[in-house]
Structure 1
């Protein structure tokens, strides 16, 4: 299993896969690092997550997904208008 989250300091590193499970945080992968220490990552931070069609089509040319940008606009608008908070 490989960690693929672009902003994680260990991005690109390979880990020994142990188990995939659903926890209170959501879908996670349990793995061992190179020193045999157990660690966990959200599935979407790994190469085990389904490929996001937008990210694949953009071919690495766009670091943002449309849904994330729409949520950001909602957050900024809410802050500007004094509403604060964001809808899920």
Structure 2
């Protein structure tokens, strides 16, 4: 496995899972490797008794802070574009459900 990040950057570094709805939120893990998988960067770590696991880098303390969240100082939990995407998704699911009845 080849890392997309320089080895020295994450060597002996830890990260915290920051995604609020992830079951490991708030837990600290040592970084094994950071690399790009398909379209996103992931961080690999040992979860449990030596099991290798991965999580999107954006869901960790290693990611660059989104400027929207930084400027909103934690007062806005969701970006407008994310809420609109959720509405589109829910509408599409409703249409699928209507076709099955």
- Cα RMSD for the two superposed structures: 2.5
Count the aligned residue pairs. 83
Aligned partners of 1:76 and 1:24: how far apart in 2? 26
Q: Is the 8 A contact 1:15 1:34 kept in 2?
A: no
Query: Does 1:26 pair with 2:40?
Result: yes
Which position in structure 2 is the counterpart of 1:69?
83
What runs of 5+ residues in structure 1 fail to find an aligned partner? 83-88
TM-score after normalising by structure 1: 0.74
- Moved beyond 6 Å, runs of 4+: 77-80
Larger radius of gyration: 2
Structure 2 residues not aligned, in runs of 5+? 1-14, 96-101
Pairing of 1:1-88 with structure 2 (within 5 A): 1-24=15-38, 26-33=40-47, 35-75=49-89
TM-score by length of 2: 0.66
